[in-house]
Amino acid sequence: MTTSAPVKLLAAPQFTLLPPLSLYIHIPWCVRKCPYCDFNSHEARGALPEEAYVAALIADLEMALPQVWGRPVLTLFIGGGTPSLFSVRALDALLSGVRARLPLAVDAEITLEANPGTVEAEKFSGFRAAGINRLSLGVQSFNDRHLAALGRIHGADDARRAAELALRTFDNVNLDLMYGLPGQTPAEAEADIAAAVAYAPQHVSAYHLTIEPNTYFHRYPPVVPDDDMAADMQTAVESQLAAAGYEHYETSAFARAGRQSRHNLNYWQFGDYLGLGAGAHGKISFKNNILRESRTRQPKAYLERAGSAAALNEHRQVSVAELPGEFMMNALRLHAGFDIGLFAARTGIELTAVLPRLDQAEARGLIIRDHLRIVPTPLGQRFLNDLIGLFLA
């Protein structure tokens, strides 16, 4: 068994310039919990407490302001759950409240997640007028049989109508798709990608279905394509998107030139993000340390506690020993890798601290490096967990 070389660590990180800051807002409700979903989502029962939840989010933000005071917010992402269940009025009030309290950049990328089963033309126009300038649409498949197997509330016709409407309303749209689905053939996976490409979205996210703990699929596993067939699907999906002009810039992300997700790039480049809402996570850097936070997961408890320390599940300083692993877990997902100087800029420790581990990764053919960049090889991309594992504390 190969063991990782020890890491030479500094006493504490030292930042001369804080990382870029993003804001993530979590809206936890959905129409129905999907059997594969391990996100913090809860089936809506009755009317949503929109006004109370927006007020809780603003109270949460006000409590967090001292941690990010004066720092510009470059991207904002509203995820879930299904945020598009909220009304235009509620999202407009939320965005107004954020702008009144944080210096949101004039050209900030503001993304909203939506599902085809919650699509209305008037609502999409209202979201755009409220300031949403990027839409991420959870299509997953354009095949009725596979959508039913995934427990989705929409059908293939809904998915097509939603994609058309999204691209008529927004000039920056991501279509989320999955492959390796129960009963799916390689030809069907390719047909889904072809259908997405036909709409010419600016961004495509193509994920392999994974069976996560604490999901219905984990308790009652469906019959899915075997590893060899799934690998063939992945190769075909990547080739198809490349042929259509999409850059494969991250493990599951493909974009037209200049249309990469700025919000997700900030995650992958180990930037900072403030997380608000039930179950939201955050990472905030200070001069000599990095703080990790998470909010309580249950919506009812969050509504009762938001704005007080009781709403926090986690509030801790990241140890120096964890920083190399946390950085590499994000940055090595990027197919172009990262600039050498980014490691010290984001972790506050010198790259020399992990040179033995870099040597080991290079010797195994998992990375290539020079005096400018460190880049995962195709082998490193394929065995990403093994590569990242070399840097974990």
Q: Is the pLDDT of residue 7 over 80?
A: no
Question: Residue 171 and residue 34: Cα distance in Å, rounded?
Answer: 29
Q: Between these two residues, 119 and 243, which has the higher pLDDT value?
A: 243
| pLDDT in the model for residue 12 | 77
- % the chain with pLDDT above 70: 97
Let me know: does 101 contact 54? Beta carbons within 8 Å. Answer: no
Average of per-residue pLDDT across 311-332: 96
Q: What is the gyration radius of the CA atoms in the chain, in angstroms?
A: 21
- % the chain with pLDDT above 90: 93
Does the bond joining 341 to the residue before it have cis omega, within 30 degrees of 0?
A: no
Question: Which residues sit opposite 42 in a β-bridge?
Answer: 29
**What would the pLDDT profile of 266-275 be if each residue is shown by its tens digit?**
999 999 999 9
Q: Is the pLDDT of residue 167 over 80?
A: yes
H or E element at residue 134 = strand 134-140
Q: How confident is the model at residue 2 (pLDDT cuts 50, 70, 90)?
A: very low
**What would the pLDDT profile of 30-76 be if each residue is shown by its tens digit?**
999 999 998 999 999 889 999 999 999 999 999 999 999 999 999 99
Task: Give 118's DSSP letter.
Answer: G
| pLDDT in the model for residue 10 | 52
Neighbours of 331 (CB within 10 A): 21
Ordered by where they begin, the domains of the chain are 21-267 (3.20.20.70), 321-389 (1.10.10.10)
Task: Give 12's DSSP letter.
Answer: S
Q: What are phi and psi of 208, to 5 degrees?
A: -80, 130
Let me know: does 26 contact 40? Beta carbons within 8 Å. Answer: yes
Q: Is the pLDDT of residue 1 over 70?
A: no
For residue 383, what are the contacts with CB-CB under 8 A and spacing of at least 6? 366
User: What value, to the nearest 5°, has the Cα angle with vertex 271 and ends 383 and 64?
Assistant: 130
Nearest to 143 by CA among 85, 205, 78, 187: 187
**What would the pLDDT profile of 114-166 be if each residue is shown by its tens digit?**
999 877 778 999 999 999 999 999 999 999 999 999 999 999 999 999 999 99
| pLDDT in the model for residue 122 | 87
Structure tokens at 178: 């999955």
**What would the pLDDT profile of 189-217 be if each residue is shown by its tens digit?**
999 999 999 999 999 999 999 999 999 99
Question: Residue 54 and residue 94: Cα distance in Å, rounded?
Answer: 6
Question: Residue 112 and residue 94: Cα distance in Å, rounded?
Answer: 12
DSSP letters spanning 62-92:
HHHHHHHTTPPEEEEEEEES-GGGS-HHHHH
Question: Which residues sit opposite 114 in a β-bridge?
Answer: 137
Question: Residue 188 and residue 25: Cα distance in Å, rounded?
Answer: 34
| pLDDT in the model for residue 120 | 78
* Mean pLDDT estimate for the chain: 94
In the chain, the amino acid numbered 263 is H
Q: How confident is the model at residue 14 (pLDDT cuts 50, 70, 90)?
A: confident
| pLDDT in the model for residue 33 | 92
Question: Environment class of residue 69 by beta-carbon count within 10 Å: exposed (0-12), middle (13-18) or buried (19+)?
Answer: exposed
For residue 146, what are the contacts with CB-CB under 8 A and spacing of at least 6? 140, 181, 182, 183, 184, 188, 192
Q: What are phi and psi of 334, to 5 degrees?
A: -80, 125
Query: pTM of this prediction?
Result: 0.94
Average of per-residue pLDDT across 277-294: 97
Angle between helices 121-130 and 156-169 (to 10 degrees): 40
**What would the pLDDT profile of 328-343 be if each residue is shown by its tens digit?**
999 999 999 999 999 9
Average of per-residue pLDDT across 294-323: 96
Neighbours of 307 (CB within 10 A): 16
Question: Environment class of residue 309 by beta-carbon count within 10 Å: exposed (0-12), middle (13-18) or buried (19+)?
Answer: exposed
Question: Residue 363 and residue 269: Cα distance in Å, rounded?
Answer: 24
| pLDDT in the model for residue 133 | 98
